[in-house]
Chain A
Amino acid sequence: MAAPLVLRRDLFSFARILGGISQLGPRCLSACSSHNWKCNQTRFQPLQTSSTFFHTATYLSSTPSSITVTDEPDTLFQKVVVLVKAHDRAVLDSYEFFATMAAKELGIAMGKVFEPPKDIERLTLLKSVHIYKKHRVQYEMRTHYRCIELLHITGSTAQVYLEYIQRNLPEGVAMEVTKVTKRTRTATFMENVKNSRMKLNFLLCSHL
């Protein structure tokens, strides 16, 4: 997966260099070949405004995950709770709009979308390096939250939705996902239930 990524980025940077050179024009290429640096500089002067206005952008591309088909039944979630944390409330507003729109387009049933109260962590430190105990400086770190609940969702849908949401998570934002599902009645589970019921009966009888 790393090799095609490296190739793609190399291609992009190569294309950028070619684009940059082609903008200069054929006159400057002939000047470049003369190996006279001063001549080059004077040649660049009239075209400087057009050739040096460039900017690079990031291409965060990756291969999509493959689709697998299995016979075992899909896990069913009663509730998937996505809690997003950030320092900036505006970023969370836009992210909530994006997540709710994505869920609506995919047809996922949404529960509540609410904002838990923010947490402020405050520090009081001495302002000066040496002495002056009465003069302090206070810093605070604010954490804003946003909670999105998805109801009655299948495992594969949850996987796809969460992967899409997480790929587009902005910088400086953390996410916690809680999945609520019903446990199947395995043999050990039934044994434990029986043991606890027997213990309860014993306790009640011994009291009498």
Chain B
Amino acid sequence: MAASLSFSGSARLLAALGRSSVLHSSFESRGLHVTAVCFKNRAARIRIGKGDQPLTYEQAHHPHQIAHRKGWLSQHASNLKGEGGAAERTMEDVFIRKFMFGTFHGCLADEVVIKRRGNALIVCALMLQKMPPQKFYFLIGYSESLLSHFYKCPVKLEIQTLQSKAVYKYI
């Protein structure tokens, strides 16, 4: 298919392949790959580097580890069988994540976790101690009241602060 071998004699190629299949353990034989380019998965993965980039637990694990080593960042019942409203919940989640990123700029230590219990929206976040606590309390109250007016449901913020980001490994 994609392999265009320009040397003459398909017989020579067949002979070479025959030799490689019989003497595959010999140092003279070589495997020949004749497929199209196979795409590696790149979703939500940080590629391996020199060893100086710190990663949190969330960033270090790939998406296929969800429900094994990772949990869920957004917990609601719309994706269950027989339940509706998944698109609306997803839009709300996207807006809330952007809002939190903008309001607490530079203070977020890890991804925001969004939980829905009944009518209430609970936004959980880990923050770095970049601002004095009074500013934090003001921003928490501001976000809670603004989001609850916007989404017409009680919105609660659960914030926990850290000195610095929790590093899981260096990549």
Contact = CB atoms under 8 A, between A and B. Distances in A.
Interface in A57-71: 57-58, 60
B122 A56 contact: no
Contacts of B156: 58, 60
Interface residues of B, number: 36
Given A20-B137, A56-B158, A87 B72 contact: yes
A127 B40 CA distance: 10
Interface string A28-50: 00000000000000001000110
Among A85, A87, A173, find the residue whose CB has the most chain B CB atoms closer than 10 A. A87
B114 to A, nearest CB: 9
Chain A at the B interface: SS class:
mixed
B83 A174 contact: yes
Nearest to B38: A135
Nearest to A13: B141
A132 B2 CA distance: 14
B134 interface: yes
Contact of A55 (B80, B116, B132, B160): B160
Contacts of A169: 117-118
Contacts of B39: 127-128, 132, 135
Given A87-B80, A121-B81, A56 B140 contact: yes
Contacts, number: 91
Contacts of A49: 163
Interface string A99-123: 0000000000000000000010100
Given A20-B137, A132-B39, A56 B159 contact: yes
Interface string A141-180: 1110000000000000000000000110111111000000
B86 to A, nearest CB: 10
A32 B32 CA distance: 74
Interface residues of A, number: 40
B158 A57 contact: yes
B137 A174 contact: no
A141 B78 CA distance: 11
A119 B82 CA distance: 11
Contact of B137 (A17, A132, A166): A17
A169 B132 CA distance: 36
Interface in B57-88: 67, 72, 75-77, 79-83
B76 A172 contact: yes
A86 B116 contact: no
Nearest to A23: B133
Contacts of B115: 171-172
B80 A143 contact: yes
Nearest to B120: A60
A167 B118 CA distance: 8
Interface of B: 36, 38-39, 41, 43, 67, 72, 75-77, 79-83, 115-118, 120, 122, 129, 132-134, 136-137, 140-141, 156-161, 163
Interface of A: 13, 16-17, 20-21, 44, 48-49, 51-58, 60, 85-88, 119, 121, 127-128, 132, 134-135, 137, 141-143, 166-167, 169-174
